[in-house]
Structure 1
Amino acid sequence: MATEQELSDFLKSVEKRAFKRSLYHVRNEEAALDIVQDSMLKLSEHYGDKPVAELPMLFQRILSNCTLDWFRRQKTRNALFSNMSDFEGPGEDGMDFDLLEAYSGPDNGERAESAEDETTRAQTFREIETEIQELPARQREAFLMRYWEEMDVAETAAAMGCSEGSVKTHCFRAIQTLSKALKAKGIEL
């Protein structure tokens, strides 16, 4: 059973990644914030008494469902008010969290990077982010859960509501698409 402090610590640990994941899906910062807040509230209200080990998978499932609910509401709203356009591309201002921040590694002083190396790395990360945004929704979701959230296949399948085989297929296709797109841009990983 999670204590109030453990639940709070868990939510703090996932908020930035959850926001970025939502932003990839809805491409609207305000909507992404709302989705993450709704997800956190639902987790706290309905599952706050669950063991800490169950919180990551529960939260991912709730976040996915809240995102789908947002799309359903948008579809209904757009059908009723066809001249309203709530879809905006993500802005580049105010973003203090890079997609692959975890992969860039901490500055351990192992070697000083030149300004050119840092610029090249930043450009590469932006290209990767752009290509991830272009993936089909289910591939993007599976890819982010598996390789960014570091969930295993079974956890990802449970969170996405599909079979483990589907998760593997989505991830394989996402990796193939990303690899091909990045290679076409001259980026070899």
Structure 2
Amino acid sequence: MATERELSDFLKSVEKRAFKRSVYHVRNEESALDIVQDSMMKLAEHYGDKPAEELPMLFQRILSNCTLDWFRRQKTRNALFSNMSDFESAGEDGDFDLLETLRVLDDSERTESAEDTTRRAQILREIEAQIQELPGRQREAFLMRYWEEMDVAETATAMGCSEGSVKTHCSRAVHALSKALKARGIHL
């Protein structure tokens, strides 16, 4: 059973990644924040008594479901109010590191020139832009596997699909990202 402190620590540890993942999906920071907050509240209310090791999987599933619920609500709203916007603008916020797991070395260990630092930032911005262009399920699988560092089985459970589907989505996402980046002269 997770203690209140363990639950709090877990939520703090996932909030930035969850927010960024939600922004990738809904392309609106305010909506993404609402989705993450709703997910965190549901985890605390309904699953706060679960063991701490179960929290990551539960949270990923809740976050996915809250995101799908958001899209369903948008579809309903758009059908009822055809003059509403599509809520597809996503601003840039410098408070969050871009794809933290793609960093090769910790900042304290890195001795880069200003040119290297600028190039790395440009590459990360390009990767982020290309991730946003991926189809929803590919983007979701890619982020869970390579950003959240979940294994195939955990990702399949969180996404509500088979392990084979996760592998297919990830393979297609990696191929599409690689092709798009190479077309822009970026070779990783």
| TM-score, normalising length: structure 2 | 0.97
Detail structure 1 runs of 4+ shifted over 6 Å in the superposition: none
Indicate the residue corresponding to 1:114 in structure 2: 113
1:183 & 1:102 partners in 2: Cα distance?
A: 20
CA–CA separation in structure 1 for the residues paired with 2:183 and 2:62: 36
Q: Which AA in structure 1 matches 2:21?
A: R
Which position in structure 2 is the counterpart of 1:63? 63
Amino acid at match of 1:57: M
Question: Counterparts of 1:26-105 in structure 2 under 5 Å?
Answer: 26-92=26-92, 94-104=93-103, 105=105
Structure 1: give runs of 5+ residues left out of the alignment. none
Deviations 1:146-189 (A, max 9, x none): 00000000000000000000000000000000000000001111
**Whole-Å Cα distance in 2 between the matches of residues 29 and 23 of structure 1?**
6
Deviation at 1:96, TM superposition (A): 1.3
Task: Report whether the alignment pairs 1:13 with 2:52.
Answer: no
Displacement of 1:108: 2.5
Task: Trace 1:131-146 onto structure 2 (pairs within 5 A).
Answer: 131-146=130-145
Task: Count the aligned residue pairs.
Answer: 187
Which residue identity does 1:38 align to in structure 2?
D
Could you report, residue by residue, the CA deviation over 1:104-138 in whole angstroms, capped at 9, with x for unpaired residues? 232234x5211111110000000000000000000
TM-score, length-normalised on structure 1? 0.96
Q: What's the secondary structure of 2:94's corresponding residue?
A: coil
Q: Distance in 1 between matches of 2:54 and 2:16?
A: 19
Shift of 1:88: 3.3
Aligned residue in 2 for 1:170: 169
Q: What are the ranges of 5 or more consecutive residues in structure 2 without an aligned counterpart? A: none
Q: Aligned letter for 2:138?
A: Q
Aligned to 2:160: 161
Q: Which amino acid aligns with 1:124?
A: I
SS in 2 for 1:172: helix
Report the CA distance between 1:86 and its aligned residue. Answer: 4.6
Mapped to 1, the partners of 2:165 and 2:98 lie a distance apart of 24
Q: Matched residues in 2 for 1:57 and 1:154: separation? A: 10
Task: Report the identity percentage.
Answer: 82
Query: What SS is found at the alignment partner of 2:125?
Result: helix
Amino acid at match of 1:99: L
